[in-house]
Copies of this chain bind each other. A is one copy, B any other.
Amino acid sequence: ESGALNKVERILNSGLAPADIAHLIESSPPKARKVLWDLVDKELEGEVLQYLSEDLQAHFLSDLSAEELVDITSDLDADDVADILQQLPERVTQEVLDAMDQQDRTRLEQVLGYPEDSAGGLMNTDTVTIRPDITLEVVMRYLRRHPTLPEMTDNLLIVNRNNEFIGILTINKLLVSDPNQTVREVMTTDARVIPATMQDTDVAKLFERHDLVSAPVVDAEGKLIGRITIDDVVDVIRETADHSLMSSVGLDEEEDTFAPALKTSRRRAVWLGINLLTALAASAVIGLFDKTIEQVVALAVLMPIVASMGGIAGSQVLTLVIRGQALGHLSSANFRWLFNREIIVAGINGVLWAAVIAVITLLWFNDPGIAAIIGAAIIINLLVAAVTGAALPLILKARGIDPALAGGVVLTTVTDVIGFLSFLGLATLFYL
């Protein structure tokens, strides 16, 4: 037993990269996680920690003292330390800050001063800055005085004596240019500069669209305060994408695959409760027509088809529009075109599937009345689904509600209610 543990400990601490250790911990059930974490070397703990999800960070950090936290985080980038500290109670954060040296504290406080989902919260403070009037030869000598450069340094940042950002010198340019030229002669002044208040998803779009590896971050006065690197942007992209996927079923994008049963049950229960309200609304609509169903029981057999086809068609539109919003494709200028297109598509597919379903109904129940009614209801519900699916994300977003989270529930409520209402309502008019 203890021999096996020793072996695991050796593999953990010598064979694996911190990211791999973190991955191993994330891929383990709760008990195994605790065992693995206890086996990780003290010097590696900080590195491993930054690759763990926020839930797990908070879990492991809660056992540590302020001194241990300072130790663990001393080798990390300011943005990663800031992310970790934000998992802690206010009081502990203050203790950790107090225990740090002056320089680290100042840097960290700068990052902590910005929201976690802004460029300021995403940035590192490990910039390599130079002045414009020196030669490249001098720049090279200056760099050689560093034991190493910050990771992902693909350009040097040029500032004046007030630390105002002037431009960048790409490493690429530095390497191919004549060393006797000055920085000013070869620098790039139209580089993409990121204001500290920019939303992290906009930062990601900028990086993605312009293939950036790193970009300088400036404050409101144009002073250089840090830089953002692609590794942190990749995390934003991953989280944004996971958010769309997980929110649609009421889960968090950081949802822990191996969270304990009780915690999982509690989180899931909320979503089931919200959806029960949707289902009850649908049931209430059906309840309005119980007399009709008693007379024509075929209606009860067929009614889920109308609701379900509307739900499917609507969620296609909804998903397309939500993704279009996320990619920045949709604006008020082109929304009208999209809206009209969706009405046409719903019309075409409505008529097509109304015909198919009417024929099936006719063959099944041999009742032309019901066949005509279900066909009409399908067309109505597909049109309503298209209008709802297209307009809902914009309405929700304008009200500050996350379309990825609420869109599906609202849409299903609408398509269920309209589906049952149109089908059973038309049947009531016809049969009673």
Chain A residues with a Cβ under 8 A of chain B: 17, 19-20, 23, 26-29, 51, 140, 143-144, 146-149, 151-154, 171-173, 175-178, 207-211, 213, 230-231, 234, 237-238, 241-242, 244-246, 248-251, 255, 257-258, 260-262, 264-265, 268-269, 271-273, 275-276, 278-280, 282-283, 286-287, 290, 293-294, 297-298, 300-305, 307-309, 312-313, 315-316, 319-320, 323-324, 327-331, 334, 337-338, 341, 344-345, 348-349, 352-353, 356-357, 360, 416
Contacts and interface: CB of A to CB of B under 8 A. Distances in A.
A27 B329 contact: yes
A175 B308 contact: no
Contacts of A313: 268, 272
Q: Which of A146, A264, A327 has most chain B Cβ within 10 Å?
A: A264
A265 B348 contact: yes
Contacts of A352: 269
B261 A276 contact: no
Given A151-B172, A269-B349, A293-B300, 18 more contacts: A17-B209, A20-B209, A26-B329, A29-B338, A144-B178, A148-B173, A208-B238, A211-B231, A241-B241, A242-B323, A250-B316, A255-B323, A261-B348, A271-B316, A273-B356, A276-B357, A286-B304, A297-B300
B261 A319 contact: no
A241 B312 CA distance: 21
B264 A341 contact: yes
Contacts of A177: 144
Number of copies of this protein chain within its complex: 2
Nearest to A255: B320
Main secondary structure of the interface of A (DSSP, over half): helix
